[in-house]
């Protein structure tokens, strides 16, 4: 998993909680590198799970809720860090439809070792459906990313998640426009 996800997670946790809590999270997680992640490095996704698990124990918040909150925050970071990718889309629907065929394709072009999740979108009446499949259990994080991008574009939608497996590796998101 790209180190960017780890380094941004630590930044989010510092922002949402405190640097002191992040230090405790790193120690409690037992990650082998003491939280030293480079954005271009590759790390086992189990380390992210260990960090979320430690943060959950320290805060009392469920891991899924933490991952979703982090995903929301990460969407804003992607807007800032990758304006050339996000800026080509006029709205959340087109960005979300472009995740699989454009954004993840660009990620694998830049980082051939990357293994992004499979994301497929299809239009439905009044919105779109987004299917997420990964070998990593990050459907809650994907949920937060979707919410963050919808908020970034100022769209008014409801987002429903149907978990397709108990482990968070597959989910179907139904994104419906709200009439004004």
DSSP state string for 119-150: EEEEEETTEEEEEEE-SS--HHHHHHHHHHHH
The Cβ of residue 117 has, within 10 Å, a number of other Cβ atoms equal to 20
Q: Say what the pLDDT of residue 179 is.
A: 56
Q: Say what the pLDDT of residue 169 is.
A: 96
The Cβ of residue 38 has, within 10 Å, a number of other Cβ atoms equal to 13
Whole-model pTM: value is: 0.93
Q: Say what the pLDDT of residue 110 is.
A: 74
Q: Say what the pLDDT of residue 52 is.
A: 97
Q: Say what the pLDDT of residue 107 is.
A: 77
Proportion of the chain above pLDDT 70, given as a percent: 98
Q: Say what the pLDDT of residue 105 is.
A: 81
The Cβ of residue 159 has, within 10 Å, a number of other Cβ atoms equal to 16
**Tell me: the pLDDT tens digits for 136-147?**
999 999 999 999
> What is the C-alpha separation between 142 and 74, in angstroms, rounded?
10
List of the chain residues with pLDDT < 70: 178-180
* Radius of gyration from C-alpha coordinates of the chain: 16
The top-level CATH class assigned to 90-177 is alpha beta
Residues 53, 128 contacting (CB under 8 angstroms): no
């Amino acid at each position: 998993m790209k180190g960017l996800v780890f380094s941004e997670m630590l930044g989010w946790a510092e922002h949402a909680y405190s640097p002191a809590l992040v230090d405790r999270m790193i120690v409690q997680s037992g990650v082998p590198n003491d939280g030293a992640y480079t954005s271009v490095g590759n790390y086992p996704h189990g380390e992210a799970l260990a960090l979320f698990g430690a943060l959950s124990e320290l805060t009392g918040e469920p891991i899924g809720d933490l991952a979703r909150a982090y995903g929301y925050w990460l969407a804003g970071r992607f807007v800032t860090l990758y304006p050339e990718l996000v800026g080509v889309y006029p709205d959340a629907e087109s960005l979300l439809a472009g995740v699989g065929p454009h954004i993840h394709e660009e990620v694998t072009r830049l980082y051939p070792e990357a293994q992004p999740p499979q994301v497929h979108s299809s239009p439905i009446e009044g919105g779109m459906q987004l299917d997420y499949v990964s070998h990593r259990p990050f459907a809650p994080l994907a949920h937060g990313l979707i919410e963050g991008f919808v908020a970034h574009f100022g769209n008014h939608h409801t987002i429903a998640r149907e978990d397709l497996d108990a482990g968070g590796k597959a989910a179907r998101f139904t994104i419906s426009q709200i009439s004004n």
